[in-house]
DNA sequence: GGTCAACTTTAGCCAAGACTAAAAAAAAGT
DNA sequence: ACTTTTTTTTAGTCTTGGCTAAAGTTGACC
């Protein structure tokens, strides 16, 4: 990878791991980063030092790292590109939702502001990507996602609609085989029928 | 750049420089490669050794390098990707023909066979890119381009049609300002009116 | 054929990012 | 509180692809 691509992957990892909860940006441990990126901890320490030097992250030794506001802005731009490309691949090229992540992982590093903005326009300024994840706008704002929660945390309900899904490609493929997709309607009965592992992965809204 | 991207750029350079004439693949000098790629000659020598080791090029020291059949196949796949992306950028995203080369230079390195084939289908299997250059098919065959020659080599003619153009972005932009594009009709008068430097760059066919 | 200029390769160095092994710090257990 | 385990950092090495400077080769020109 280019120097830039490398830094971008670490920024994205910091962003993804720091926002896994609903709370503010959390401190992310070196081990978490290493696991997420598929490298060894010393490599992460080195890159965190670089990001700190660039003003994109701050580092408390033996405690963790997190993005600065500047780093967060860059990370959001990457997430925006990733999700726009995924949308293009599914909406225009006819890929399935379990086939696009790895390709978007490469496309997100193409450097051209004009390209991102034209792509966004071409796709009609979509709000969410094929997995129901919100696409940040150019200014970094998000679509409001309130009322959406994991199926596992839903209490009493009559009917729920799938608004998104947090799963790897293999699980996404299996869900597709069962006819699950964005907009699918679920009933109480599905709580028992579906694989239990999927319940926290299916993001739903009552209807 | 990634290891792969680097090798690919050298393969493309060998291809481009080795096919500049109409003849078979020619030996390409180290200096030519270095100039083309914007690096110093020793760097080229090193990469040529790597490509030779991989069976993609052959090297006659102090004489030059050229692609093997295996290397040529890989180079053609890259040219295919580059030109398909350029076509997408112009036809679908509305870029001008002088804005797409640098972006395609990045997109061509995205690694996914399925992506290239779906893109080709999405674009309706185009024969030529926005600059009139033929797009190799998946099997490596080309559209026949006979009858096309530089305007400077055209003898007597009544009317010629622009079939392609060999120019950098700056020149392409200037041509666009003059209303020139693929399909533009030229008359004898243009031989005097147009900038003389453009005559060998405008590929035309008599009509 | 000898000389010289141009080109190419080799030799040796640097930067970036990976790794392993060892040291240091923090957390956990008793 | 003291020991032990886990996590993180540092130290040192490897790979890849840049570079400059020096040496080698080719070929052109007398
Ligand atoms: Mn990536
Ligand atoms: Mn997604
Ligand atoms: Mn390229
Ligand atoms: Mn082109």
Q: Give residue limits of the domains in chain B.
A: 3-67, 149-206
Q: Taking the complete model, does pTM exceed 0.85, yes or no?
A: yes
User: CA B31, CA B61: separation in Å to the nearest integer?
Assistant: 13
Residues by CB within 7 A of strand C: list them.
Answer: A 1, 3, 6-7, 38-40, 42-43, 46-47, 50, 62-63; B 29-32, 41-42, 44-46, 48-49, 59, 61-62, 64
Q: What pLDDT does residue A14 have?
A: 97
More confident: A105 or B1: A105
User: CA A20, CA B15: separation in Å to the nearest integer?
Assistant: 47
Taking any CB pair shorter than 8 Å as contact, residues of chain B touching chain A are 1-2, 5, 89, 92-95, 99, 102-103, 106-107, 110-112, 114-115, 118-119, 122
- Condensed to tens digits (0 to 9), the pLDDT of residues A59-104 reads 999 999 999 999 999 999 999 999 999 999 999 999 999 999 999 9
Residue B201: pLDDT over 80: yes
- Condensed to tens digits (0 to 9), the pLDDT of residues A134-147 reads 999 999 998 888 88
For residue A100, report the distance from its CA to the centre of ligand 1, in Å.
13
Q: Work out the number of other CB atoms within 10 angstroms of the CB of residue A46.
A: 10
Size of interface A-B (CB pairs under 8 A): 44
Q: What confidence category does residue B158 fall into, taking pLDDT thresholds of 50, 70 and 90?
A: confident
Distance A43 CA to C21 C1' (A): 14
Q: What is the pLDDT along chain A (207 residues), one digit of tens a residue?
A: 788 999 999 999 999 999 876 667 789 999 999 999 999 999 999 999 999 999 999 999 999 999 999 999 999 999 999 999 999 999 999 999 999 999 999 999 999 999 999 999 999 999 999 999 999 999 999 888 888 999 998 877 889 999 999 999 999 999 999 999 999 999 989 999 999 999 999 999 997
Return the C-alpha torsion angle A58, A61, A64, A69, nearest 10: -10
* Any strand D atom closer than 7 Å to A62 CB: yes
Q: Average pLDDT for residues B166-190, to the nearest whole number? A: 96
Q: What is the DSSP string of B122-163?
A: HTT--SB-TTS-B---TTS-----TT-EEGGG--S-SEEEEE
Q: What pLDDT does residue A157 have?
A: 80
- In the sheet with A202-206, reading across from the earlier edge strand, the strands are A149-150, A202-206, A159-165, A185-187
User: CA B22, CA B33: separation in Å to the nearest integer?
Assistant: 19
* Any strand D atom closer than 7 Å to A45 CB: yes
Q: What confidence category does residue B168 fall into, taking pLDDT thresholds of 50, 70 and 90?
A: very high
Q: What pLDDT does residue A23 have?
A: 63
Q: Please, is B193 exposed, middle or buried when counting C-beta atoms within 10 Å of its C-beta (0-12, 13-18, 19+)?
A: exposed
Q: What confidence category does residue B25 fall into, taking pLDDT thresholds of 50, 70 and 90?
A: confident
Contact between A93 and B2 using a beta-carbon 8 Å cutoff = no
Q: What confidence category does residue B23 fall into, taking pLDDT thresholds of 50, 70 and 90?
A: low
In this complex, the residue of A1, A111, A112 whose CB is nearest that of residue B2 is A1
User: CA A176, CA A162: separation in Å to the nearest integer?
Assistant: 13
- Condensed to tens digits (0 to 9), the pLDDT of residues B86-119 reads 999 999 999 999 999 999 999 999 999 999 999 9
Of the listed ranges A153-162, B56-65, B160-169, the one predicted with least confidence: A153-162
What top-level class would CATH report for the domain A3-67? mainly alpha
* Contacts of residue B202, Cβ cutoff 8 Å, sequence gap at least 6: B150, B151, B162, B165, B180, B186, B194
């Amino acid at each position: 990878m280019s120097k830039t691509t490398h830094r971008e992957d670490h920024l994205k990892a910091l962003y993804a791991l720091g926002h896994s909860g609903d709370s503010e940006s959390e401190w992310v441990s070196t081990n978490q980063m290493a696991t997420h990126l598929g490298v060894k901890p010393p490599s992460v320490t080195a890159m965190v030092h670089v990001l700190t030097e660039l003003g994109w992250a701050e580092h408390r030794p033996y405690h963790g790292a997190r993005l600065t506001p500047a780093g967060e802005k860059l990370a959001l731009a990457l997430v925006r590109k990733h999700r726009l490309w995924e949308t293009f691949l599914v909406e225009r090229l006819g890929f399935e939702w379990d086939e696009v992540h790895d390709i978007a992982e490469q496309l997100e590093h193409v450097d051209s502001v004009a390209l991102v903005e034209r792509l966004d326009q071409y796709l009609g300024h979509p709000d969410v990507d094929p997995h129901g994840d919100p696409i940040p706008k150019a200014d970094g704002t998000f679509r409001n996602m309130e009322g959406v929660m994991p199926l596992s945390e839903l209490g009493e309900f009559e009917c729920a609609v799938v608004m998104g899904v947090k799963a790897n490609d293999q699980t996404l493929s299996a869900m597709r085989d069962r006819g699950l997709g964005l907009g699918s309607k679920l009933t109480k009965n599905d709580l028992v029928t579906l694989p239990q592992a999927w319940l926290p992965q299916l993001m739903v809204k009552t209807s």
